[in-house]
A = this chain, B = another copy of it.
Amino acid sequence: MDTTKKTIIVFSGDLDKAMAAFIIANGAAAMGDEVTMFFTFWGLNILRRPDGKAGRKGFLQGMFGAMMPKGSAKLGISKMNFGGMGAPLMRRVMRQQNVSSLEELIDTAKEQGIKMIACTMSMDVLGFRPEELIDGLEFAGVATYLGEADEANVNLFI
């Protein structure tokens, strides 16, 4: 078993949980670990391009797509969201404390070569096409995740 590999399933699309996921992932990569992040369900919202064209979709998928946050900048927080006001407040406090923003964390993850996989089954369900998501992703299903997890010594579900 390779003790220098980590996997994180990013199920949540909340700003605070997304940040936790990327902080752990980037920390591990900085320590020399190989890291795989597997984005599924609401976690895919983190990866949406703000300017992504939706294209033709079924009615329900279109409705889901229109109501879900369009990219990392639009995410809410899991507690004290106050109808969307909590996230910008938390972002401001973090900036004051010199904590990297989620967008910076995502850039760092890419620079460090963290493997970011978008779950294809969830993409089908939510109606997301690859071109609606940010660059640099791989596309795969649960079998790929399980193969990665089998080689890792830390596997988290966030």
Q: Which of B58, B79, B143 contacts A96 (CB 8 A)?
A: B58
The answer to whether A31 touches B143, judged by C-beta atoms less than 8 angstroms apart, is: yes
A54 contacts partner chain B, Cβ-Cβ < 8 Å:
no
Range for the number of chain A residues in contact with chain B: 35 or more
Q: Which of B60, B78, B153 contacts A1 (CB 8 A)?
A: B153
A112 contacts partner chain B, Cβ-Cβ < 8 Å:
no
The answer to whether B41 touches A64, judged by C-beta atoms less than 8 angstroms apart, is: no
Stoichiometry (number of copies): 3
Q: Which positions in A face B, CB cutoff 8 Å?
A: 1, 3, 9, 11, 13, 16-17, 20, 23-24, 27-28, 31, 33, 40-42, 58, 60-61, 63-64, 67-68, 78-80, 89-90, 92-94, 96-97, 99, 121, 124-127, 141-143, 145-146, 149-150, 152-158
